Amino acid sequence: MRFCRVNLTYFCAPMNLQPAIYFAPFQGITTKAFRAVYARYFAGVDKLFTPYFANIAVDYPLPALKMKALQHQSENGIPVIPQILSKSAPEILSFARSCAALGFGELNWNLGCPYPQVARKKRGSGMLPFPEMVDEILDQVMPHMPLSFSVKCRLGYTKASEIMDLLPVFNRYPVSELTIHARTGKQLYSGKTDPDAFGAALEGFQVPVVYNGDIFTTEDFRNISGLFPGISRFMIGRGILQDPFLPARIKGLPQPGDGRAVLRGFLDDLYFETRREKKDSPSALNAMKEYWTYLMFAFEEPVVVFRRLKKAGSFDDYEDATNEVFAHDSLKIQD
């Protein structure tokens, strides 16, 4: 089935309105607990995403663990968007039906995961060199999709030019948004983003495009939005993990007087929620330490901060280390 449409959203992006800012998904970090606690403490984010779901049993109810990880449809008024990593139309549709039944309004398809064990199987960014495969899946999925269907991809897997062959495919379907991480899959998360390739592709898209990649500061945001004045939607990942105040700062929203106290409150709530979510298993400690690999950059001396945290072998050690950080280390953001 082919869809014909004219979508002028990109060309008519309002210049004077606030940008939309989406908090990117992170497997193992932006969990249910993280999303809930983040949304209670910080302003400025317009959409939250779940880390990707995979291995969905077609036409079976979702198992309890997946149901739990999907809670809730929104956090403090911010919509939560579930994400699926799949190369099977029936699997995508089955998950979409479950999400629709739970009250979600949008499902996001992960075509960006770069990890070789995923990409090798033509999943995630590994599907990007095969536009005919993307076409076939969209062709099967879109006529039956019970909710808005958005896509998150990269410029390509091996070459940034792959996006040019995907462009007519995405334009054929009523995909609600296309987030493009301006790197190739082969680059993983390092090396330079490629704004030129992003800009070249942008001109041809009729689907509303969301920019993603390496926005860490308000200055990065100004640079990217200066390069692409027609873009009004931005997905930010590591920048928010490192500086949870970043979306509010980008939007010029009021900042708390005592940012340090807000950050401490957020971290403490996140710690206790994570312990609860993981039933006090050691994985709660590991999850907090993983988050600190990003949050350490909120401090003037990240290496010193992380050294305090990484040796914590118990919850008591972790609490002592966090107390030490907040007693001795200066914040780079907000102070």
What is the nearest approach in angstroms of ligand FMN to the Cβ of residue 10? 20
| 72 touches ligand FMN (CB under 6 A) | no
Q: What mask of x and - would describe binding to ligand FMN in positions 126 to 165, judged by CB under 6 A?
A: --------------------------x-------------
Type of residue numbered 42: F
Among the residue ranges 94-102, 237-245, 256-264, 322-330, the one whose residues contact ligand FMN (CB under 6 A): 237-245
Say whether residue 110 binds ligand FMN (CB under 6 A). Answer: yes
C-alpha distances in Å from residue 137, one per residue of 39, 90, 102, 169, 318: 34, 9, 24, 11, 46
User: Which part of the chain contacts ligand FMN (CB under 6 A), choosing from 24-32, 142-150, 303-311, 322-330?
Assistant: 24-32
Nearest distance from C-beta of residue 294 to ligand FMN, angstroms = 9
26 in contact with ligand FMN (CB under 6 A): yes
Nearer to ligand FMN among residue 220 and residue 329 (C-beta) = 220
87 vs 152 by CB, closer to ligand FMN: 152
- Candidate ranges 62-70, 126-134, 210-218, 243-251; the one touching ligand FMN (CB under 6 A): 210-218
Beta carbons within 10 angstroms of residue 124's beta carbon: 28
Min CB(78)–ligand FMN separation in Å = 16
Please identify, among the stretches 56-64, 157-165, 230-238, 306-314, the one whose residues bind ligand FMN according to the rule CB under 6 A.
230-238
Check: CB of residue 10 under 8 Å from CB of residue 229: no
Is 34 an interacting residue with respect to ligand FMN (CB under 6 A)? no
Q: Which is nearer to ligand FMN, 19 or 213 (CB)?
A: 213
CB of 27 or CB of 217, closer to ligand FMN: 27
User: Does residue 51 belong to the site contacting ligand FMN (CB under 6 A)?
Assistant: yes
